[in-house]
Chain A
Amino acid sequence: MSNVQSCYQCGKCTSICPMRRVSKTSPRSSIYNANVYGLETNDIWTCLTCGRCPIECPQQVDFLNFIKEERQGKTPLHVAHLGVFTEFSELSSKLDGKTPERSDSKYGYFPGCVDSLDLFLHDVKTNFGEITTSSLKLLDKLGIKPQIMNMKCCGHDVLWQGKKDVFEDLKKYNLNYIKESGIDTLVTSCAECYRTFSKDYGLGIKVVHISELLDKLGLNVNDAVTYHDPCRLGRHMGVYEAPRNALTANGVVVKEMEHSKEEALCCGVSNFMNCNEQTKALRIARMDEAEATGAKTLITTCSKCLAHFNCLKTEKDSVKKYDFDVVDLTVYLARKMEQT
């Protein structure tokens, strides 16, 4: 249970809420309505679950857990792409999955939903599969030969869309798969998978985001980039330094944006909800900050952030053109590795 009872309605959360910049969303009143009146408000669905408000909260209210619990069993509002990713997870949760091909490797690599992203977001013109191939190349360079974990979806999106039963089905299968594969370290290249396996699974084995391994690559890249902190890796899991180290240790200069680390702005869409005009304004704000740094590349470590930024970039009738690339950390480093 979240400690939502300790909220004393100071409203600090609302004053820093990114959604509040563009809409009437109020974390404070969503707590008030749920707690005092037991009311269901739209505010629990317009929340981006970016994790910005718990950092400032004087009472340390666990707002993320509150939202997660409040959403369970209710019908989500504003699911993007008609919920195709949710449907895919639900469909796969009802089918028998594959069994692991056992190997001696103690490392397991989980690619996440890059295939689905490639197939269902084909107009974003981003090669999501390259994240997987790049990650494997980089791991190979580090001397790690992982097992490819051919599991079902980690269940992040369905969990945050309030479908705990589907999540439990997926979790049961995945836990069994991981147990049978005999690995002791699970490597992911997606911030959302990393959060879910670390916090919502109770795995009992080590879960690593790939950026935590990449500082030992020993490349010498002469370039300047800017880095966007995904909410799932940064504020949810507290991993701020690892991706920056992975870049600086390989000779890349990181130019920080106006808001970074704990204060980083959100890409505007999480778990494929709330893709609309309001959140688009947040995306534009973030892209403008990236442009202001003067770097030619924007690096991120979450495949969803990548999708949303590139969606804005490749939009046909966009108001503004951005002339920098948005790439995943692994893709960036693998490309640089192959150039040298």
Chain B
Amino acid sequence: MSEGQTVASTKEECWVPNILAFACNWCSYAGADLAGVSRLQYPPTVKILRVMCSSRVEPAFILKALKDGADGVLIAGCHIGDCHYIDGNKNAEVRINNTKKALEKLGLDKRLRLEWISASEGLKFSEVIKEFTEEISKLGQNPVKEKIEPQINADERRSSASVNKSAANVQGSEVK
């Protein structure tokens, strides 16, 4: 994020969103790669986890991520009709929408997002991350965080934020 956030001293200001992205191997992960090799800029708030298909993502994974303090969860797969496994993404859509409904009861539904990103849409990938980061920044921290890490001080947060930044820079220039 911007420099102001890493230098700030108070707890709230130095917080950067921590987003977990499940990207499908065939489209969205390649899309993220393209965003990297095209040197497109996007915030270092996202940690990408490669899965073979978006329908590999069980509701339990999403709930566990949120329970353990992720501020947002993004699931990215191939466009409908383009799935490598024919109709995996259709199943994913049903599942993720159901999970969203369940999260609505807890008031966390805005922290879950499903996107279709193809291998050629590096730009879309970077834009989705930008948008989602902004959205999560507006929502603020995941409310469960107060219970799981009340003792982490601002310094530790700051250092972990800068590590995230450098990690994302490395990933951005990575070529496979």
A and B: bona fide binding partners: yes
Interface of B is mostly: helix
**Range of interface residues on A (Cβ < 8 Å):** 10 to 19
Bound complex: CA A23 to CA B59 (Å): 30
Residues from chain B with a CB closer than 8 A to the CB of A84 are 58-60, 63
Instruction: Choose the segment among B10-18, B29-37, B102-110 that binds chain A (4+ C-beta atoms closer than 8 Å).
Output: B102-110
Contact residues in B for A115 (Cβ distance below 8 Å): 102, 105
- Compute how far the CA of A312 lies from the CA of B58 in the bound complex, rounded to whole angstroms: 21
A95 near B106 with CB under 8 A, answer yes
Cβ A96 vs Cβ B102 within 8 A: no
A122 within 8 A of partner (CB)? yes
Chain B nearest Cβ from A76, distance in angstroms: 14
Q: Is A83 an interface residue (CB 8 A)?
A: yes
Inter-chain contacts of A94 with B (CB < 8 A) = 67, 143-144, 147-148
Q: Give, as a whole number of angstroms, the nearest-CB distance from B56 to chain A.
A: 11
The answer to the question of A82 belonging to the interface, with a C-beta cut-off of 8 Å to chain B, is yes
* Interchain CB contact under 8 A, B102 and A95: no
Please tell me which one of the listed residues B64, B94, B107, B143 contacts residue A87 in the complex, with CB atoms under 8 A apart: B64
Complex interface bits, B55-95 against A, C-beta within 8 A gives 1, otherwise 0: 00011110110110000000000000000000000000010
User: What number of B residues sit within 8 Å (CB to CB) of A?
Assistant: 21
Contact of B67 among A82, A90, A120, A122 (CB under 8 A): A90
The reply to whether A87 and B67 contact each other, CB–CB distance below 8 Å, is yes
Q: Which residues of B contact A120 (CB under 8 A)?
A: 59, 98-99, 102
Q: In the bound complex, do residue B66 and residue A91 qualify as a contact, i.e. CB atoms below 8 Å apart?
A: yes
B59: chain A residues at CB < 8 Å are: 84, 120
Q: A82-B58, A84-B59, A122-B94 are contacts. A116–B144 as well, Cβ < 8 Å?
A: no
Kindly state the separation between the CA atoms of A94 and B147 in the bound complex, as whole angstroms. Answer: 7
B39 lies within 8 A of chain A by Cβ: no
A92 to B67, CA, bound (A): 9
Closest to A119 in B: B98
0/1 per residue, A112-131, Cβ < 8 Å to B? 00011001101000000000
Please tell me which one of the listed residues B61, B98, B144 contacts residue A91 in the complex, with CB atoms under 8 A apart: B144
Minimum CB distance partner of B94 in chain A? A122
Residues on A lying within 8 angstroms of B by beta carbon are: 81-84, 87-88, 90-92, 94-96, 115-116, 119-120, 122
Other contacts beyond A82-B61, A95-B108: 11, CB < 8 A: A84-B63, A87-B60, A87-B63, A87-B67, A91-B66, A92-B105, A94-B67, A94-B143, A94-B144, A94-B147, A95-B107
